[in-house]
C-alpha cells in the first residue's frame, strides 16, 4: 500500500486530504508541525508528502522542510501547497527537487490525480511496474514538450483554465469522435492531440501528424492519400499516405484551414467512406482511423467566408476544444519556466544560473503572443547567452521583453527618440495587432497587410517575433 503524509498547520486541511486519499486506498498520516513531520519521515518511508509552504514552526517553512525531506528520503515525491503563489518561490522549490507547487484550495479530483502522477513518475524513474491508475475526470492539464525530437515529458498546469481543458480531454479521449482543436499559434494544440491519443483505446497504434500549412495541392494529396509510381513527374516510387500509415490509430491534421478546396473535397470523401485511393491508382483501401484536426483560424468564420467546406467542418466537428493562450494561464507560468529551463540545461549539458527578479517580472507582465512556444524559445536564448551558474539578467532578454528604461521613456515622451526605433516599434506593434486579430494565422495576416507570406516571415524574423 502506498503511503502519504500531509503536513499543514490547519487541521481541517489535514483531515480533508486524509479523507480524500484514504478513500482511494492509500495509507495516510498527517502532522500540523514541520518538526514532527521530520521525525515521522525518519521513522517511516512515505511515497508522497503534501506540505504547506507557510507553517507556523519558527524555523521550518515549506522550503526548509522539503530540503530536509529530500535529504532523509530522496525518492519521496514532495508537493508544496500554498495560498499565496509566487513565481520566484515556485522556481526555487522545483529547482530544489520538489515534484510540484500547487495553489489552494484543492479539489478532490486534483489531489487524487496529482498523487497518481507522482507515483507514475516514481515508477518510471525506478523502472518498476507502473502503479494502477484510474484518473478522475478532472485535474491539471498536461503540455507536451518535444525534447530533441522525442516525446519526453509532460508539464502539468494547475490553474482553473488548465483544469477545465483537462476535463474536456478526459471526456473525449476514450471515444472515437473526431475532434477540432482551436487555439492561437504556440498554445500546444499538437500537445492536446497527443494527450487525446495517449488516453484513447488507440494508444498502442500510431499517431501520424501532418502540417497542412506547408502543403501544396499536389503534395497534400500525395502526403494524405499516397501515390503510385509514375503518378506524376517526380514520383519515382510508390508512397504510402498518412491515412494508411495511421491505420488503427489517430491521424492529426494541423492547420487544416490551409488545405485547398479541392483537397478538402477529397478529404471529405475519404473521411465519410473510410477508404483511400492513392494518386494514380484505381484501387481503394479501407482505413480505420480517428481524425483530430487543429487550426489557429476560426473554422466557422472560414466556412462563412467560403474558404472551408461546411460539410467537411460539420463532419469533423463532433467535439471542439479551445486551447487557451498562455496569457490566460498565469498560474501555470512558474512551472513552465522551470521545466523549460531544465530542458534547455539538458540540451546544453550545463547548469544555468537563477533567473533574476527583473527577468521574472518581465515574464509575468509580458503578453506572450507566441504562447508556450515563444516562452520555450526565450528560455533557450537566455540560457544559451548566460554564463555558467551566474544569475540570468534582463539584458539577455529579446528586445520585446526588455524593460523600458526611464531615459528611453522620457526621450519618447519628448519626441527625441531615434526615428528608426520609433518606426520599428510601430511596425512591431502593427504586426502583433493584425496577428492577434486573425488568431495568429500568418497567411491571413499577410493578406490583410498586403504583403506576401515570405515578406511576413522575414519581418517576424527581423523583429524577433517568435510564433
Tell me the pLDDT tens digit for each residue of 415-458.
Answer: 455 555 566 667 777 888 888 777 777 778 888 888 877 678 77
Place of cell 478546396: 261
For residue 418, what pLDDT is reported? 56
Measured CA to CA, the distance from residue 194 to residue 56 in angstroms comes to: 43
Range of the domain at 67: 3-126
Place of cell 502532522: 31
Instruction: Say yes or no: 177 and 122 in one domain.
Output: no
Among 126, 148, 164, which residue terminates a domain?
126
| Residue at 428 is within a domain | yes
Residue 274 has pLDDT above 70, yes or no: yes
Quick one: cell of 70? 529530500
A 10 A CB-CB count for 343 gives: 21
For residue 50, what pLDDT is reported? 93
Instruction: Say yes or no: 302 and 420 in one domain.
Output: no
Half-sphere exposure of 368 (CA within 13 A, CB side): 27
Residue 145 has pLDDT above 60, yes or no: no
Instruction: Say yes or no: 116 and 13 in one domain.
Output: yes
pTM summary value? 0.59
Instruction: Say yes or no: 117 and 237 in one domain.
Output: no
Instruction: Say yes or no: 313 and 183 in one domain.
Output: yes
Place of cell 473526431: 178
| Residue at 202 is within a domain | yes
- Whichever domain contains 276, its CATH number is 3.40.50.300
Number of domains in the chain: 3
Beta bridge partners of 48: 4, 77
Residue 405 has pLDDT above 70, yes or no: no
Instruction: Say yes or no: 261 and 184 in one domain.
Output: yes
| Residue at 140 is within a domain | no
Coil, strand or helix: which one is 464?
Answer: coil
- Sequence-separated (6 or more) residues with CB below 8 Å from residue 442: 185, 435, 453, 456, 457, 460, 467
Residue 375 has pLDDT above 60, yes or no: yes
Instruction: Say yes or no: 177 and 42 in one domain.
Output: no
Instruction: Say yes or no: 122 and 178 in one domain.
Output: no
Residue 26: left (phi > 0), alpha (psi -120 to 50), or beta? Answer: beta
| Residue at 227 is within a domain | yes
Q: At what angle do helices 34-43 and 62-72 cross, to 10 degrees?
A: 10
Encode pLDDT of 317-349 as tens digits. Answer: 888 899 988 988 888 888 889 888 888 888 888
Amino acid at each position: 500500500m502506498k503511503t502519504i503524509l500531509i503536513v499543514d498547520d490547519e487541521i481541517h486541511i489535514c483531515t480533508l486530504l486524509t479523507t480524500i486519499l484514504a478513500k482511494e486506498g492509500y495509507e495516510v498520516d498527517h502532522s500540523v508541525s514541520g518538526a514532527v513531520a521530520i521525525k515521522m519521515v525518519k521513522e517511516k518511508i512515505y511515497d508522497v508528502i503534501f506540505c504547506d509552504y507557510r507553517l507556523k514552526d519558527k524555523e521550518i517553512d515549506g522550503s526548509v522542510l522539503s530540503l530536509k525531506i529530500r535529504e532523509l528520503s530522496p525518492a519521496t515525491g514532495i508537493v508544496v501547497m500554498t495560498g499565496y503563489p509566487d513565481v520566484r518561490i515556485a522556481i526555487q522549490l522545483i529547482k530544489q527537487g520538489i515534484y510540484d507547487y500547487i495553489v489552494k484550495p484543492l479539489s478532490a479530483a486534483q489531489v487524487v490525480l496529482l498523487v497518481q502522477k507522482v507515483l507514475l513518475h516514481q515508477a518510471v524513474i525506478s523502472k518498476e511496474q507502473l502503479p494502477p491508475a484510474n484518473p478522475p475526470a478532472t485535474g491539471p492539464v498536461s503540455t507536451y514538450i518535444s525534447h530533441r525530437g522525442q516525446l519526453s515529458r509532460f508539464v502539468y498546469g494547475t490553474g482553473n483554465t488548465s483544469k477545465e481543458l483537462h476535463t474536456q480531454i478526459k471526456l473525449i479521449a476514450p471515444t472515437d469522435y473526431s475532434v477540432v482543436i482551436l487555439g492561437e499559434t504556440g498554445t500546444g494544440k499538437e500537445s492536446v492531440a497527443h494527450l487525446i491519443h495517449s488516453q484513447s483505446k488507440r494508444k498502442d497504434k500510431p499517431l501520424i501528424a501532418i502540417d497542412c500549412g506547408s502543403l501544396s495541392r499536389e503534395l497534400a494529396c500525395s502526403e494524405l492519400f499516397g501515390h503510385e509510381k509514375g503518378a506524376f513527374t517526380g514520383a519515382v516510387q510508390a508512397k504510402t499516405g498518412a491515412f494508411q500509415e495511421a491505420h488503427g490509430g489517430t491521424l492529426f491534421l494541423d492547420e487544416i484551414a490551409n488545405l485547398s478546396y479541392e483537397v478538402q473535397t477529397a478529404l471529405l470523401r475519404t473521411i465519410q467512406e473510410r477508404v483511400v485511393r492513392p494518386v494514380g491508382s484505381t484501387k481503394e483501401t479501407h482505413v480505420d482511423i480517428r481524425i483530430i484536426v487543429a487550426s489557429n483560424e476560426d473554422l466557422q468564420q472560414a466556412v462563412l467566408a467560403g474558404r472551408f467546406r461546411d460539410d467537411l467542418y460539420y463532419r469533423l466537428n463532433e467535439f471542439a476544444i479551445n486551447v487557451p493562450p498562455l496569457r490566460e494561464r498565469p498560474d501555470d507560468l512558474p512551472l513552465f519556466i522551470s521545466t523549460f529551463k531544465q530542458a534547455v540545461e539538458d540540451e546544453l549539458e550545463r547548469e544555468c544560473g537563477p533567473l533574476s527578479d527583473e527577468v521574472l517580472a518581465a515574464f509575468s507582465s509580458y503578453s506572450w503572443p507566441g504562447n508556450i512556444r515563444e516562452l520555450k524559445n526565450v528560455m533557450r536564448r537566455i540560457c544559451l547567452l548566460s554564463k555558467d551558474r551566474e544569475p540570468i539578467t534582463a539584458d539577455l532578454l529579446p528586445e520585446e521583453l526588455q524593460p523600458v528604461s526611464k531615459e528611453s521613456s522620457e526621450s519618447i515622451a519628448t519626441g527625441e527618440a531615434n526615428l528608426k526605433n520609433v518606426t520599428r516599434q510601430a511596425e512591431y506593434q502593427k504586426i502583433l495587432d493584425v496577428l492577434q486579430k486573425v488568431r495568429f494565422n500568418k497567411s491571413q495576416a499577410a493578406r490583410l497587410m498586403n504583403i506576401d507570406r515570405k515578406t511576413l516571415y522575414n519581418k517576424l524574423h527581423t523583429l524577433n517575433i517568435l510564433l
